[in-house]
Amino acid sequence: MDLFIEILVSALLVIGGFFGFVGSYGLVKLPEPMTRLHAPTKAATLGVGGVLLASMIYFGWFGEHVSFHELMITMFIFLTAPVTGLMIAKANIHLQWTKEELPPTGAGTNWSTQSDRPSLMDDGADSRLINDGD
Amino acid sequence: MIAYALTFAFACFGIALLFSLYRVVIAPGVPDRILALDTMTINMIALLTLFGFREGTEMYFEASLLFAMVGFVSTVAYAKFILRGDIIE
């Protein structure tokens, strides 16, 4: 049984390392900003998940007790990677696309990043802060 | 056998860290740099976990968790900042 656990941990480590490598290699290799988003948010996340899973199995079998710390980190990374990808994709879209290329908002107004209207932050609050001092 | 797999994983994530460092230094746009920084934190989490694995201690998991949290918050804040010029509106 020890041998089986060792093979499992080794396989998880090799797979995790390979996917982590592919994730960062894609960051350098892929041609466009939006395609470059794919590699780190998917492959690298899977690679880290593999490594953390290997660590959990190893310490659960050869250590004194089973710990679920790694599972917590894995869950956290798997939950936050799509949010990160969404934010960076949004930044890409709104910084590099022109007003005509963006899809319609359906609300009769422009996208807020492209709008001519002043934002909520421009209602004078900044000037009040500056004038009043501290 | 685990020692060889561990060395392989160390090498993979080390080279991956160098790749993302290259993308931080030489990048066509700011979103690429943010993405590369996020990839660097993810690679560092993996390297910390592997180091704790090699040392046989579970002390490094707190460090990994801190890296994960701070990396996520900073990535979102930076993306929000270049998008609108404000982080909290």
Domain boundaries, chain A: 2-108
Instruction: Note the pLDDT tens digit of each residue in A53-62.
Output: 999 898 888 8
At A93 the pLDDT is 82
Rg (CA), chain B: 15
Instruction: Note the pLDDT tens digit of each residue in B50-69.
Output: 999 888 888 888 899 999 99
Greatest CA separation for chain A: 73
CB spacing of A90 vs B72 below 8 angstroms = no
CB spacing of A70 vs B61 below 8 angstroms = yes
- Residue A17 carries which side chain, given as an amino acid letter? G
C-alpha to C-alpha distance for A70 and A50, rounded to whole angstroms: 10
What residues 19-78 of chain A have any CB closer than 8 A to a CB of chain B?
A: 20-21, 23-25, 27-28, 33, 36-37, 40, 44-45, 47-48, 51-52, 54-55, 58-59, 63, 67, 69-70, 72-73, 76-77
Cβ count near B32 (within 10 Å): 19
Task: Judge whether B52 lies within some domain.
Answer: yes
Residue ranges making up the domain that contains B58: 2-84
At B2 the pLDDT is 86
Which residue would you say has higher pLDDT here, A128 or A71?
A71
C-alpha to C-alpha distance for B18 and B6, rounded to whole angstroms: 18
At B35 the pLDDT is 92
Task: Judge whether B89 lies within some domain.
Answer: no
pTM of the full structure: 0.82
At A132 the pLDDT is 47
| Phi, psi angle pair for A116, to nearest 5° | -85, -20
* CA distance, residue B41 to nearest chain A CA (Å): 11
CATH number at residue B26: 1.10.287
| Eight-class DSSP state of A41 | I
At residue A114, does pLDDT exceed 70? Answer: no
